[in-house]
Amino acid sequence: MTEISHLDQVFIKDLLVRGILGINPEERTNRQNIVVNVIMWADTRPAALSDAIADAVNYRTVAKAIIEHVENGEPMLVERLVEEIAALCFETDARIQAVEVSVEKPGALRFARSVGVSIFRSRDEFFLDD
């Protein structure tokens, strides 16, 4: 497993996307708010030294990929979507060594502000599962 203690965090907080997610009939036809949070572990020192975006994990590129994926996908379960987003992060930038992804469905459960799933995956263990 990748040792992340020497790595830095690049994050996207509260990315709000509208998409199809869920098992109920209305969830299969009506888009709903989906909140995505991602923490990506990578070495940011090369970017800090060069001050060049080419040396950085570009959170804008990752966010655009997540938005497109959520808007165009139709998974049944939050568990599937968080795994797909983790894979997308690794595919988007080889510098990302680990990710924590959480997906929330605000208002999906009465009396709860939000429900969701959070996972942590390292690049090493993620690709071992393939």
105 is catalytic: yes
- Residue 106: is it exposed, middle or buried by C-beta count within 10 angstroms (0-12/13-18/19+)? middle
CA 17 – CA 89 distance, rounded (Å): 16
Token representation of residue 124 = 């090493």
Of 21, 70, 103, 105, catalytic: 105
Rounded to whole angstroms, the Cα distance separating 53 from 57 reads 8
Q: H/E element holding 11?
A: strand 8-19
**Residue holding tokens 């060049």?**
52
> Would you name the residues annotated as active-site residues?
105
